[in-house]
Amino acid sequence: MSGSAPASTHWDTVWTHARLATMVPGTPYGAIDDGALGIAAGRIVWVGPRATLPAAGKRPSVTLHDAGGRWITPGLVDCHTHLVYAGNRAHEFEQRCNGVSYEEIARTGGGIASTVAATRAAAEDALLAQSVPRLEALLREGVTTVEIKSGYGLDAANEAKMLRVARRLGRDLPVTVRTTFLGAHALPPEFSARPDDYIDFLCETVLPAIVAAGLADAVDAFCETIGFTPAQTERMFRAARVAGVPVKLHAEQLSDQEGAALAAKFGALSADHLEHLSPAGIAAMARSGTVAVLLPGAFYFLRDTKVPPVEALRRAAVPIAIATDCNPGTSPTTSLLLMLNMACTLFRMTPAEALAGVTRNAARALGLQDRCGMLQSGMDADFVLWDIDSPGDLAYRIGYNPCHAVVRHGSTVTRTRSVIL
């Protein structure tokens, strides 16, 4: 468990008197009871029991932090969000509470289309300003890495605008942002009834421009009866492959389109939602190492009853991640901790699985497994101090935030309590 720091390493900081949930597999939470963390230049250089702290961590030049016996986990990773958007869809929630279905709202010009109209109309700065409070809410709960999708612009200029806003959020706020191009989210009005022409336009014009501008870390699509067919999704994936960008997929949310197997065929980082995932889809994901990203907020908000096949995923050893799916239509939440609780209550996951789902496995769903998601030598020094008695408390509470402080790249960036460490 102990990290190995070369003897010559100059340590900047040591955190001691901590209970570490390293999330390194092998033991529950990878716990180290009386632990210490060594940091140099924003990276973790040593993790282990305080009693075995190497000499490099005891030099007078090293800044010492006492965690006060608190639990420390890796910084949380929200690996699936649509948090950059303009407007508000509260009225659609009212419609649904009056008996109208999500699909009906989508078919009659509401749903994603209404957010597309609002997002197109918003200037870049206004879009940023509307998105900042949502991201800040996530950060207050210990999120240090977030994925943000486009998909409410649906043309070259507005998809790029969304992704530039996502990149700016990563520069302006203490969080690592990974961007995903989701041009194939819905059909824009100007391509009405011409989905294949729209996919051509995305593959030939929009995706190459976005990749050339360095705006996309991944490509995603919404493979669904109200989204795009598997054949259209496959064309997006081929274009992504040509552009050298990894893929992810909104798969099997409302019906089984065999999207997860398609994603696995392209070595997807993740397949997400998966309520209607089949045994064949699970086997394909297991073979390709594709992470299953479950989104209990959308399941809850749509009053879905079809639970994703968690036990079968477990048996097949498919890594399971949990995310907010923060979006105005189906998951208007900015609480990743609430998603932990819902993963346990609604999907029957364990608190340890849920926490792995927002740390180790979420990092993997973004291809960042070597950078974050565990407290391990070599990883970014992104971690959270919690006022909790055990790591399971994080999934236990409903609507309570025990985050004490957040450290990103070695520096304390958020302190939610006035108590001095």
Q: How far is the CB of 318 from Fe ion (least distance, A)?
A: 19
Per the CB < 8 A criterion, the answer to whether 139 and 145 are in contact is no
Q: Which residues ranging from 163 to 192 are in contact with ligand DI6 (CB under 6 A)?
A: 185
Is 115 a residue that touches ligand DI6 (CB under 6 A)?
A: yes
Alpha carbon distance 202, 70 (integer Å): 49
Q: Which residues contact 131 (CB under 8 A, 6 or more apart)?
A: 83, 84, 85, 165, 169
Question: Which of the ranges 164-172, 235-243, 278-286, 320-328 carries the binding residues for ligand DI6, by CB under 6 A?
Answer: 320-328
Among Fe ion, ligand DI6, none, the one that 112 touches (CB under a kind-dependent 5 to 8 A) is: ligand DI6
**Segment lying near ligand DI6 (by CB under 6 A), choices 27-35, 111-119, 255-263, 277-285:** 111-119
With CB under 6 A as the rule, give the number of residues binding ligand DI6.
Answer: 14
Distance CA 29, CA 353 (A): 9
Does position 222 bind ligand DI6 by CB under 6 A?
yes
Q: How far is the CB of 253 from ligand DI6 (least distance, A)?
A: 6
- Cα–Cα–Cα angle for 201, 146, 288, rounded to 5 degrees: 70
Residue 259 is a binding residue for ligand DI6 (CB under 6 A): no
Selected binder of ligand DI6 within 180, 330, 333, 359 (CB under 6 A): 330
Dist. CA 50–CA 173, nearest whole Å: 32
Find which of Fe ion, ligand DI6, none residue 330 binds, CB within 5 to 8 Å per kind. ligand DI6
Which ranges constitute the DSSP H helices of 247-291?
259-265, 279-288
Interactions with ligand DI6, residue window 33-62 (CB under 6 A): none
SS3 content of the chain, % helix, strand, coil (to 5): 40, 20, 40
293-352 residues near Fe ion, rule: CB under 5 A: 325
130 forms part of the interface with ligand DI6 (CB under 6 A): no
Q: Compute how many other C-beta atoms are within 10 angstroms of the C-beta atom of residue 164.
A: 18
Which CB, 300 or 396, lies closer to ligand DI6? 300
Question: Which residue matches tokens 């998966």?
Answer: 274
11 is an interface residue for ligand DI6 by CB under 6 A:
no
Q: How far is the CB of 372 from ligand DI6 (least distance, A)?
A: 25
Cα angle 248, 379, 144 (rounded to 5 degrees) comes to 60
**Interface with ligand DI6, residue 83, by CB under 6 A:** no
Complex with ligand DI6: residue 2 or 88, whichever CB lies closer: 88
First to last CA, the chain: 26
Contacts with Fe ion, residue ranges (CB under 5 A): 325
